[in-house]
Amino acid sequence: MATLTARVIPVRAGNGRHLVERNFLVYRRSWVVFVSGFFEPVFYLLSIGIGVAQLVGDFSLSDGTVIGYAAFVAPAMLASSAMNGAIFDSTYNIFFRMKYAKLYDAMLATPLRPWDVATGEVTWALLRGACYSAMFLLVMLVMGLIQSWWALLALPASVLLGYAFAGAGMALTTFMRSWQDFEFVQLATMPMFLFSATFYPVETYPGWIRWLVEITPLYQGVALERALTTGAVSWTLLINALYLAVMGTAGMYVASRRLGKLLLK
């Protein structure tokens, strides 16, 4: 019936919402998998807020604001959650749909183009990440870990971070040949999670290592979220936001070109 409808009612080119609707219908039947992605960062936060924070002193931010360790780590957990959610959706899931389910071959037989597939998948990843981020921010609010009204922009910032990693992740997935290649994804994301000023200030690093950390994409998100939730806002946040926007857009462009090359032969 779906195939017949697609033939009778043409799909307008330049519209990725049909892929978003398809993913929504799939996850509606497996909502437990969808919801489970919310708990990992919350468990991290609770273990730190209840346990480790009792052993660590307060932190002084660049503007002199003093915050507790849990309030320091929480925005980094928010950024890491946005990264992990976007990477998972735009790598493992897309690889399966492209190589095994042959979903994109079927979609590109309609008026949909590679750019529509890229925008649809990235949009779905952003919607999923936004749900996780909104719930995580609510937990932070209940725990008293939000220090400023600037935190209202923390949700859009997490969506921007998800956009950067979703675009880049989808682009990289088009180059992967087998499941073994995903070891490189973990090789990239795990060090970023551990060392992007997530658990301690970036000032603790020596010169060149600090510079290396500050050019990683996750650090841009951590810097954004931490500044917004603590109120230590400055003009440099515009650079962080621009970095993530360019990364996501470039990734989507590469992904759409690669999909066209691989599937439209």
Average pLDDT, 10 consecutive residues per value, the chain (265 residues): 38 61 73 67 76 73 75 90 85 84 79 82 84 86 88 93 91 87 86 88 86 93 93 90 95 87 72
Quick check: is 26 in a domain?
yes
Give domain status of residue 137, yes or no: yes
- Global pTM reads 0.84
pLDDT at res. 7: 38
CB atoms within 10 A of CB 225: 28
Tell me whether residue 7 is in a domain: no
- Domain for residue 10, yes or no? no
Structure tokens given for 157: 């910032």
Could you give the 3-state DSSP secondary structure of residue 14?
coil
pLDDT at residue 237, rounded to an integer:
93
Considering the domain boundaries, does residue 11 fall inside one?
no
Domain containing 249 equals 16-263
Contacts for 51 with CB less than 8 Å, ≥ 6 apart: none
Report the alpha-carbon distance of residue 137 to residue 139 in Å, rounded: 5
Report if residue 144 sits inside a domain. yes
Closest CA to 40 of 139, 185, 124: 139
The answer to the question of residue 6 being in a domain is: no
Q: Give pLDDT, residue 239.
A: 95
Whether 50 maps to a domain, the answer reads yes
pLDDT of residue 31: 63
Picking from 168, 170, 171, the residue whose alpha carbon sits closest to that of residue 192 is: 168
Is residue 105 a contact partner of residue 58, using CB atoms and an 8 Å limit?
no
Structural domain total, the chain? 1
